[in-house]
């Protein structure tokens, strides 16, 4: 297998992007990515596209819109799908394309346009990511799924609403320092606890944002990566570990609601492939679609013992100056969650952190190894990727 590096990254501003369509958002991210690498689209050999929802895109093959708008045809391109983990599936697929030798330079693009329909329509559309026979028809939505997880975690480990609120406060703080983030608003624990209930115990500020946005990464084989790096002056960021795992579609089929089995298994695979462990991770982005999801991710990724995730955030250990900084870009919670773009944006963030290019106040000090964690649905697909900087 060939070694695979990230040689270019691009990101749009996340938020209510009334100024851009799906294809225009993708173009914006791709343009920034190619400029970052100092290459032309003509140099790219193939492309992988992530768009999470046909329903929200009003199209059966939304990737064709993006390929056409970029003028990429007739080169090979296709779309991958893994619900909210679609972006990381695209990065994994791009990695496989390069590692196999099929292509030496692959563009991975993730995009989503979510704000053109009312929030209840988005909630219903995403709810179909659950069991379409035994859950969705009976009114289950993703706030409901994660409320079940939160209740179970609180009952077993004593996790509190205040600890959940601390996740939101942290992520809003770092989003306020991130010019690409959807939400630029500092909040307090009291703001979270007094916000309106969505699915108890989750309140409005416990929930991630419905956003528009796009992200792109350029992946290259080692020889090509080094050549591009000479021109751009930016070191390759190597993808050294990949993990992917699944779990039961229906929540009723799961043995334990306080953990995502897919995260535990995907992390095991990624750590083993990279030859590292949880204590080696210098910076992480995790799938905080709801505040409880970040706390559960701390535990499932091995950053703390099971049941101690609430304590980890309470002690401030996941802040930028803590021993394991997590979601210092604002996370899904406050940076935004355009589902097809999320996993690709995670790769962009880790690459920027390892290059030392994040904004002041949220740049981790001298990181060498980064991790991304992306969940599809309520854990039906989970991807964990590990990145290492050159040298």
Count Cβ atoms below 10 Å from residue 275 Cβ, excluding itself: 11
Q: Provide the pLDDT for residue 120.
A: 85
Q: Do domains 4-117+210-237 and 129-206+241-389 have the same CATH topology?
A: yes
d(CA 53, CA 211): 13
pLDDT in the model for residue 53: 82
Q: What ranges in 176-321 are assigned the alpha helix state H?
A: 189-194, 222-232, 261-274, 291-300, 309-314
As a whole number of angstroms, the distance between CA 13 and CA 214 comes to: 8
Burial, 138: exposed, middle or buried (Cβ in 10 Å; 0-12, 13-18, 19+)? exposed
Per the annotation, the verdict on 84 as an active-site residue is yes
For the entire predicted model, the pTM comes to 0.97
Active site residue 33: no
Helix or strand holding residue 243 (H, E): strand 237-246
Residues contacting 84, CB < 8 A, separation 6+:
52, 129, 287, 289, 337, 339, 342, 374, 375, 376, 377
Query: If the chain, 391 residues long, is cut into consecutive pieces of 10 residues, what is the mean pLDDT of each piece?
Result: 96 97 97 98 98 82 94 96 96 98 98 91 83 85 95 98 98 98 98 97 97 98 97 97 96 94 98 98 98 98 98 98 98 97 98 98 98 96 97 73
Residue 241 bridge partners (DSSP)? 386
- Angle at CA 128, nearest 5°, toward 310 and 53? 95
Half-sphere exposure for 290 (CA within 13 Å, toward CB): 25
Q: Are strands 197-199 and 381-389 parallel, antiparallel or unpaired?
A: unpaired
Task: Specify the pLDDT at position 134.
Answer: 85
Closest CA to 362 of 387, 333, 390, 330: 330
CATH of 129-206+241-389, one of 3.40.47.10, 3.50.50.60, 2.60.120.260, 3.20.20.70: 3.40.47.10
| pLDDT value for 358 | 98
In the chain, what is the greatest distance between 2 CA atoms, to the nearest angstrom? Answer: 57
**Domain 4-117+210-237's class?**
alpha beta
Q: What is the pLDDT of residue 130?
A: 82
Domain boundaries, the chain: 4-117+210-237, 129-206+241-389
> Catalytic pick from 153, 173, 182, 337?
337
Q: Give yes or no for a contact between 37 and 10, defined as CB atoms under 8 angstroms apart.
A: no
């Amino acid at each position: 297998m060939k070694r695979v590096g990230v040689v270019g990254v691009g990101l749009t501003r996340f938020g209510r992007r009334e100024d851009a369509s799906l294809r225009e958002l993708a173009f914006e991210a791709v343009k920034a990515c190619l400029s970052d690498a100092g290459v032309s689209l003509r140099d790219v050999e193939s492309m992988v596209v992530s768009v999470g929802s046909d329903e929200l895109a009003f199209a059966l093959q939304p990737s064709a819109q993006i390929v056409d708008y970029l003028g990429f045809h007739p080169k090979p391109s296709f779309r991958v799908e893994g619900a909210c983990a679609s972006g990381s599936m695209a990065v994994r697929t791009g990695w496989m394309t390069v590692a196999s030798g099929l292509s030496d330079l692959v563009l991975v693009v993730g995009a989503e346009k979510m704000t053109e329909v009312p929030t209840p329509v988005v909630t219903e559309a995403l709810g179909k990511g659950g069991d379409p026979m035994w859950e969705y028809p009976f009114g289950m939505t993703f706030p409901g799924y994660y409320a079940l997880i939160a209740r179970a975690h609180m009952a077993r480990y004593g996790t509190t609403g205040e600890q959940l609120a601390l996740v939101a406060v942290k992520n809003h703080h770092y989003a306020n320092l991130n010019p690409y983030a959807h939400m630029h608003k500092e909040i307090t624990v009291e703001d979270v606890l007094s916000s309106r209930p969505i699915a108890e115990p989750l309140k409005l500020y416990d929930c991630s944002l419905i956003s528009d946005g796009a992200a792109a990464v350029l992946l290259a084989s080692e020889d090509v990566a080094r050549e591009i790096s000479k021109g751009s002056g930016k070191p390759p960021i190597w993808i050294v570990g990949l993990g992917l795992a699944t779990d039961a579609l229906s929540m009723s089929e799961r043995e334990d609601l306080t953990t995502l089995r897919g995260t535990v298994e995907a992390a095991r695979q990624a750590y083993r492939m990279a030859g590292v462990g949880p204590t080696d991770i210098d910076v992480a982005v995790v799938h905080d679609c709801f505040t409880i999801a970040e706390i559960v991710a701390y535990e499932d990724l091995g950053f703390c013992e099971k049941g101690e995730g609430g304590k980890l955030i309470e002690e401030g250990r996941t802040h930028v100056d803590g021993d394991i900084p997590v979601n210092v870009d604002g996370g899904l919670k406050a940076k935004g969650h355009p589902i097809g773009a999320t996993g690709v944006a995670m790769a962009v963030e880790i690459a920027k952190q390892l290059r030392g290019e994040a904004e002041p106040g949220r740049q981790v000090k001298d990181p060498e190894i980064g991790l991304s964690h992306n969940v599809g649905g309520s854990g039906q697909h989970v991807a964990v990727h590990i990145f290492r900087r050159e040298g």
